[in-house]
Every structure is written in structure tokens, then in C-alpha cells.
Structure 1
């Protein structure tokens, strides 16, 4: 359909520049707009009379693009600000569709076998809290993870305590408790081998997953 093709052509030109790879890429907002445009066009055409289907598809595509791109654009902006704030801190920012993951290794957040946040890391969490306060249309899942050293019960408890420590810190920064959920997974979800010290260090971590409301 020509009218839809014109909308999609305009959207496909919306690119973002990734400062970490030096490459241009289609923004998540644009991807959401394209999906929304296709859905909106189908609805617009189906609900219009035969003679007005072209017009209905165009209106539907445009409105669908706005809705679909809204969430992606919101998360794009939040991701960009988090990357600026957390560059060089050791916290990894990972984008997964419309979700953002902040991976915080245990070696920079907690001492071994401790659940109290290191004083040297509080400034970083304060920066995270500022961004989360500004972008308040997201749910924050806080996950604690451990390596496989020690008993299952000990690691489970430690992972829960670490997740709760990060949650309590964010609550003290003014983040609404209704936006947060803290959970511990112990050693169940490793991201590296537990057979090496470097792998165990990666597995001892807290992850924040930001999900749009």
C-alpha cells in the first residue's frame, strides 16, 4: 500500500548514533513506530469504507506510529542518560527491546560475603536514582545473584539481602516503593563459569531491569 510505504519510508530514516561502536542504527523508537504503523494501518483500513480505505490506512499508520514510538523514544532517552551517568563506573547498561538492564558486579557494589553497599559505590547509585526519579514511568526489578561457592541456602539469603540493600537505597533516594521489586536468585542464573575466579566475580552481581509501565 503506497500510503503506508510513505509513512514507513519516513520512519526508516530515523537513525541514532551509537557512541560506543561509532555506527548508525535504527533507534528503538523507530522500530516501535514501524510496528505501530503497520498495526494502525491494518486497523484503519479495516474500519474504513471501501472508498476511504487509503485515507483510513494513512491515518491509522500515523497514529499507530506515534503510539508505537512513544515507549521506545522514552526508553531511548532514559538509556542515553544512564549511559552518560554510568560511563566508566563498571556498571553495564544493556538494552533489550523496550527494557534496560543495569548490571552491577559484586566487586564494585559489595565486599565479599557482605550485603552492605560499599561507600565508594553510593555516588554511582545516587546517579542511578536521579535518572530513575526523572523517568518515573518505569518499573524497577532488582535482582541479586551469587556464585556457586557455599551452600544454596546461604547464597539465596545473601542474594536477597543484596537486592534489598539496593532497593532500600533507591527508596531513600525518593523512588516510590510501588515501582520496585527486589528478588534474590542465589547462584541459579550465572553469566560466566563458576570454575574460575573471574567467572565467579561476574556472577556475584545485582541487576536492575527497567520495564516501561
Structure 2
């Protein structure tokens, strides 16, 4: 019983220290710059604390002979890894909000995921997968961000409204997502961790019963997540490269 209590105390204390006193792993001169949530705790601190606690419990379970030592090691390792991505995402979110201001693109933060919602009025003409002229500026800004913060899993999802057949909409949404992927890679974004899919009329964000609602549903979403097993270091560090299936740069005139 005493051992269990001491284990819990060790795990909790180290988790709190790791979460609340975590240093910025990218910029030693920056203090507490991560965005705050409603409770006053930054995402960095939250991820660090939760990661440390999870690491402490895992470490204790692995080291049966010395649970206190195992908890301590697990907490430090788990806290550093989780807070590393938390801070990374905080900084990426901040830069994306700056670059997407006044472009019509909405930036959302959903836990450990950053979502960019690109509405139909700036992306593609009706029944077309050709990128509209108004779409190049936000796409260029996004490409620049993804080259600086190049340690994400990038999912590009195309959506349509409910007008027309489901098959037509599924095909169109897939082509639109692929057009965005082609353009981003043509601007130097690695395709190593990039995926595309068309969702057609699924998951509408507004009613398809009126013009405004259908316009909102005709959108492209870009989802940015952590790469499983990735060690998060300085933004801009080189990510592992793979053969790029998108060759050439047919869009260079828009840079």
C-alpha cells in the first residue's frame, strides 16, 4: 500500500512539473508563448502533463523491481515527447492564423489537430477541379508554412454539396483534393506524409437546402496531425524524403 501511494505521488509530481514547467524546446529565449486555453493552461503544458503522467504509469508497469524509478523515467520521457508536439502545434497554429488572415480560410484547432477550412467561394468554380485565381494566395501561404513546419501528417479532403449524383460528387471531391495536393507539392511540399480523399456530400457543415449552405459545404479541408513516432524538433528541420509522385512545377507562374 505504501509503495502504491509513493508511486502515485512520484508520478503525479513529475507529471505536473513536466507539464507546467516545461521549457520551450525550440527557442530558449521564448517564455510561455504557447497559446492559452480557457483554463489558463497552454496546450504545451496540457500535453506535457498528460504525457508525463501516462509515461509514469507505463514506466512503473515496465519496471516491476523499482516502480518509483520506472515511474520517474517514464514521466520524463513521456512528458518531453508530448509537450514537444504540443509546442510545435502551438507555433504552427500561430503562424497559420497570421498567414491566412483575410484570405477567407478558417483555421481551427481541435485538440492535437489543426484544421484549415477552405470555402467553395475561393477554391473552385462549379463542377470544376481547376484551382481558382483567388485560391493561389492561401495555397502559397499554406505551402510556405508546410515547408517550415514539415513534420506533419497532411490529409487533404474534398467536399461537395448534395446537388447531383453521389458518384459525380465523390469523383469531383477526389479530383479537387488531388488538385490541391498537386499544387502544394509543386511548390516544394513533401508528399511523404501527404494523403488525399474525396468525401463528396458527406459531413456537411451547413444545410444543403439553401444557396449559402451549399456554398459552405463545397469546401476543401486540410488536416494537420502529428506523425506517429515522430520526434519533434526545430520547425524547418528536414523530414525524411521519399520519392515524390508529383513531378515538375506546372504552377510556377503563380509563385
Q: SS where residue 188 of structure 1 aligns?
A: coil
**2:18 paired with 1:4:** no
Q: Distance in 2 between matches of 1:90 and 1:111?
A: 16
Structure with greater proportional strand content: 1
In angstroms, what is the RMSD of aligned CA positions? 2.2
Q: What are the superposed Cα offsets for residues 100-130 of structure 1, whole Å, 9 maximum, x if unpaired?
A: 1111001111122222111122011101001
- 1:193 Cα deviation after fit: 0.7
In the alignment, structure 2 segments of 5+ residues that lack a partner are 1-7, 23-31, 228-255
Q: SS where residue 140 of structure 1 aligns?
A: strand
| Residue of 48, 51, 57 corresponding to 1:42 | 57
**2:55 paired with 1:30:** no
| TM-score normalised by the chain length of structure 1 | 0.86
| Residue of 162, 175, 178 corresponding to 2:189 | 175
1:17 touches 1:25 (CA, 8 Å); kept in 2? no
1:17 touches 1:24 (CA, 8 Å); kept in 2? no
Q: Distance in 1 between matches of 2:60 and 2:181?
A: 47
Q: Distance in 2 between matches of 1:85 and 1:91?
A: 10
List 4+ stretches of structure 1 deviating above 6 A.
none
Q: Distance in 1 between matches of 2:210 and 2:85?
A: 40
| TM-score normalised by the chain length of structure 2 | 0.73
Q: Distance in 2 between matches of 1:191 and 1:103?
A: 11
**2:210 paired with 1:196:** yes
Q: Distance in 1 between matches of 2:201 and 2:15?
A: 45
1:142 touches 1:181 (CA, 8 Å); kept in 2? yes
Q: Distance in 2 between matches of 1:148 and 1:42?
A: 48
In the alignment, structure 1 segments of 5+ residues that lack a partner are none
- 1:82 Cα deviation after fit: 0.8
Give the match for residue 110 of structure 1: 124
Number of residues of Structure 1 aligned to a counterpart in Structure 2: 208
